[in-house]
Amino acid sequence: MSFYVVSYDLVKEHSGKDYKPLWDALGKLDSCKAQQSTYLVASTMTKLALFNHLTRLIDEDDRLLVVPFSERPKFNKGFTGINSWVAKHFPTK
Q: What integer pLDDT is reported at residue 10 of this predicted model?
A: 85
Q: How far is CA 82 from the centre of its chain?
A: 12
Task: Tell which CATH classification among 3.30.930.10, 3.30.70.240, 3.40.50.720, 3.40.50.2030 matches the domain 2-89.
Answer: 3.30.70.240
Q: What is the pLDDT of residues 12-28, one digit of tens each?
A: 755 667 788 999 999 99
Q: What is the pLDDT of residues 63-93, one digit of tens each?
A: 999 999 999 999 998 899 999 999 999 998 7
Q: Give mean pLDDT, residues 38-55.
A: 98
Q: What integer pLDDT is reported at residue 12 of this predicted model?
A: 73
**CA 36 – CA 22 distance, rounded (Å):** 14
Cα 12 to Cα 19, 25, 57, 58: the distances in Å are 10, 19, 14, 11
